[in-house]
Amino acid sequence: MKYLKSTCLLIALLMFTACGADVTREADNLYKAGKYKEAIVAYNEYIDTKPKDVKSIYNRGRAYEQIGDLESARKDFTRVLDLDINNLNANLSMGQYWYGKKDFNKAIAFFDKVIEVDGRESMAYLLKGRSLHQKADFDAARANYDLAIDFDKKNAEAFLYRGALKIVQNKKRSACNDLNRALALGAQDAKAALAKHCK
């Protein structure tokens, strides 16, 4: 009888775990399909049973971002960082949140955290560079764009923004090289800059 109870309990636990995995998989698929509101509902269902699941909380935050609910997104990213202070994705997302709010110092603090945890994260250097660019700290911005490219030679945005910065610094030839590289890597915004500055 005791063995039967243990077996039933194990089966129930496995079913509950499998069911939870199905819900989070469904939420992920809804997100990938662009059905962000439905994804949020599915993530909510899963997070109700697994309130410390960092991946699902973060993904729900990204879904909130996609529908323009930035405050709910920020709350989820903050919750992720409460559970895992070194989470790279949540730190990047919080930096982008503060960048969007034009609080570049707060943005830089989050990008610096990513760099502290993983000094090879190209996106962190790019976004830190953009924040410094906005603060008109052009030399530091350029250094961060350089590092973004050093760690990812296919980072189209890093080439694009470094090219834009070089235009401001009257380094036209080098700027045009960067803009051409950005375009070749898929940064369509480079077209207008090339047409205007690199005839």
42 phi, psi to nearest 5 deg: -65, -40
Confidence (pLDDT) at 23: 61
CA gap 150, 71 in Å, rounded: 34
CA gap 188, 62 in Å, rounded: 24
Contact assessment for residue 155 and residue 126, using Cβ atoms and an 8 Å cutoff: yes
Confidence (pLDDT) at 118: 96
Q: Which amino acid is at 56?
A: S
Confidence (pLDDT) at 3: 46
> Once rounded to an integer, what is the mean pLDDT over residues 35-50?
95
pLDDT in tens, 104-121: 999 999 999 999 999 999
Confidence (pLDDT) at 199: 82
Helix (H) / strand (E) element for 27: namely: helix 2-32
DSSP 8-class letter at 121: -
The confidence band for 98, taking pLDDT boundaries of 50, 70 and 90, is very high
